[in-house]
Every structure is written in C-alpha cells, then in structure tokens.
Amino acid sequence: MEIEKASEMGFCFGVRRAIDMVERAAREKGPLQTLGALVHNPQVVDRLATCGVNVVTNLDDIQGHIIAIASHGVGPGIMEQVQGRSLEVIDATCPFVRKAQVAARKMSEAGLWVLVYGDAAHPEVRGVLEHAGENASASLEVPDLDSLPSRLGILCQTTQNPKYFTEFLAGIISQGLSRFSELRICNTICDATSRHQAAALELAGRVDLMFVVGGKDSANTKRLARICTDSGVTTFHIEDATEIEPASLQGHSRIGITAVASTPDEVIDTVVAVLNEHVSRN
Ligand code: SF4
C-alpha cells in the first residue's frame, strides 16, 4: 500500500498570519479573546486556549480589554460595536477576505446589486454582505434573476471552488444576460484555496482512497471532500487520526491525504504515521 500527500495542503498564509498575530499579542499583552473561532479547527482552538486565547461568540461575553477578529473578518457594524466598547482590536482579517469586502463595498457604492456566490450563513459571507449594505444577497444556486436589478456585481466567497463558481456565472449568463444592463464580476477566490483544490484533485486522480483532514465544522473541508468524492474516488473526511477505521483501508492500494488551510501540520503528520503503521503491520 502506498501513501501520498497532496503537493499543497495545510495551513495557508491567512491562517498562519492570524495565529501568529494572536499568539504574539497574548505573549506581549496577556490573555485575550477571539470573536468566534479564529479558524475552524478544534485542535488549533484548544492549543490557543493554552496560550491564553479563548473564544467568545458574543460581544457581551467579552472579559478583558482585547478582542481579536478572525481571518474570515466581520462587517462594519460589528467593528463599530467593538470600537464603541473601547476594546483594543487585533484585526487578523485575511487580506484576501479584505479584498472581497472592499469589492463588495465599491460595487454597492457604484449602485450595483451585490451577489455573493457563497454560503449565506458563513461568517465570511455575512461580513462581506454587511460591507455591501442593503442591496446584497448570497447564494450557492442561481437565484431568481427577475428579482434582481439590471445592474449586478458578482463576487465569490474566498474558499469556493473555481469550477463551481464558473458554473454559477455560466448559469446566470445563459439564463439572463439580456436582463442586465451591467454585469461586473470580481474573482475573489483566494490563491491558497485554488492551489489546495487543484492539488487534491490531481492526487485523487492517481489513488483509490482519499482522506481529507480537517474540522468537522469546516465548510472548506466539507467542500474539499466533496471535490474528491465528485472525482470518483472513495473519500473520508476525518478530523484526526483517531477516526481512521482499519476496515476502510482493506482492498485499497494507493491512499492520498489532503488537508485544508486550517489543519495543523501535527494533525496531518499523525494521520500519515497511523497509516504507515497500518501498512507496516499488513
Ligand atoms: S483560505 Fe485563503 S482567504 Fe482563507 S485565510 Fe487562508 S489565505 Fe485567507
């Protein structure tokens, strides 16, 4: 049995930057809190807690005087509330997310309806929509085009798949190009996501079993697992090595491993070690 890791996987620039920022702040200024999980990975959240970085889900629960904004950012309303409470802000919003926020605001200021291809419930998308103001919506399906104004700006949740975004755009253009007097598209998918997905897909084409390692609450991990499954290979989404079922390895000769941007190296390394142990025993 052969085991191979995807050529691009694990912590991205934005996650590494966010973790470095809060760890440095906790070292220099003492305990602090993050508004929501800094990244969607329980091992990272647990490790940060040991450094004095804890999660609050509500501004009213903040104790102390420092709050960190996660890499997926927030809308201007939350930022105003934070500033109104005279809290010191560690803003770890990823620059790629910031780019989407700025694009949404500019499209809205130009009078366009802003349509975000993404999960409306995801914190990043909620923040981007808030930057666009009233005239904005998010969807993973082509919406009812008759309900939209004739000037439309489209952008994308940073971690969506380029192929699915392209299909979404094609759906809008084929169903209703003539309805729009202006159609502006801004590609706000981040480089890290595109590279991770391309590397996962390339590996999935060469193996007969894939493990996608990442938090169970991580939409990005679920999406990466779906991309591998859609390519036709048997795929398991696991959070860590304890979830590997030896029976699931039977009959497979080439195993691929990939992980999303929020999965720490040590979790990936343990998955590889456990699989190697299994290989050496069989
Ligand atoms: S996945 Fe992309 S947008 Fe998200 S934190 Fe990483 S670099 Fe930034």
Last residue of a domain, one of 185, 204, 229: 185
Q: Are residues 176 and 214 in the same domain?
A: no
Does 124 participate in catalysis according to the annotation?
A: yes
The residue to mutate among 34, 99, 158, having the most atoms of ligand 1 within 8 angstroms of its beta carbon, is 158
pLDDT recorded at residue 64: 87
Check if the beta carbon of residue 199 is closer than 8 Å to that of residue 258. Answer: yes
pLDDT recorded at residue 271: 96
User: What percentage of the chain exceeds 90 in pLDDT?
Assistant: 80
Range in 187-191, 193-197, 210-214, 264-268 with the lowest mean pLDDT: 193-197
Query: Which among 186, 166, 184 is positioned nearest to 174, based on CA atoms?
Result: 166
Mean of pLDDT values over 210-219: 91
Check if the beta carbon of residue 107 is closer than 8 Å to that of residue 182. Answer: no
**Mean pLDDT estimate for the chain:** 93
Tell me: pLDDT of 98 over 90.
Answer: yes
Mean of pLDDT values over 107-135: 97
Residue 173, domain CATH: 3.40.1010.20
219 lines ligand 1 (CB under 6 A): no
Domain of residue 262 covers 2-10+191-281
| Side-chain half-sphere exposure of 251, counting CA atoms within 13 A | 3
At 241, is the pLDDT very low, low, confident or very high (cuts 50, 70, 90)?
Answer: very high
CA of 261 to the centre of ligand 1 (A): 7
Query: Which among 160, 156, 143, 161 is positioned nearest to 184, based on CA atoms?
Result: 156
CA of 92 to the centre of ligand 1 (A): 11
Mean of pLDDT values over 56-63: 90
Last residue of a domain, one of 132, 166, 185: 185
Residue 48, domain CATH: 3.40.50.11270
Last residue of a domain, one of 138, 162, 185: 185
Q: Return d(Cα 72, Cα 67) in angstroms, integer.
A: 15
**How large is the angle between the packed helices 123-132 and 95-109, nearest 10 degrees?**
30
